[in-house]
Amino acid sequence: MKGLDYTALTVAIIGAVNWGLIGFFRLDLVALVFGNMTWLSRIIYAVVGICGLYLISVYGRISDHVLGQA
């Protein structure tokens, strides 16, 4: 489970950096590398979104971990 957590976190961070580039410089790195809304870029966007949704479960595990130690 820990490996999946780290993988999802890494993908979400990469996605956040891409959003930062879009916000600050209007540079969509995924579209630049893989093309604007090609099937590959859409898969990358979808994976980033799925990782973000998966990371919602981390909140529950963090609170369980903290409460379990109290």
d(CA 44, CA 64): 31
- Nearest Cα neighbor of 17 from 29, 7, 5, 32 is 29
Count the domains in the chain: 1
Condensed to tens digits (0 to 9), the pLDDT of residues 4-46 reads: 999 999 999 999 999 999 999 999 999 999 999 999 999 999 9
Give the pLDDT score at 13.
96
Condensed to tens digits (0 to 9), the pLDDT of residues 43-63 reads: 999 999 999 999 998 887 877
Q: Answer for the pair 28, 22: CB distance below 8 angstroms, yes or no.
A: yes
Tell me the whole-structure pTM to 2 decimals. Answer: 0.82
* Range(s) of the domain holding residue 41: 2-69
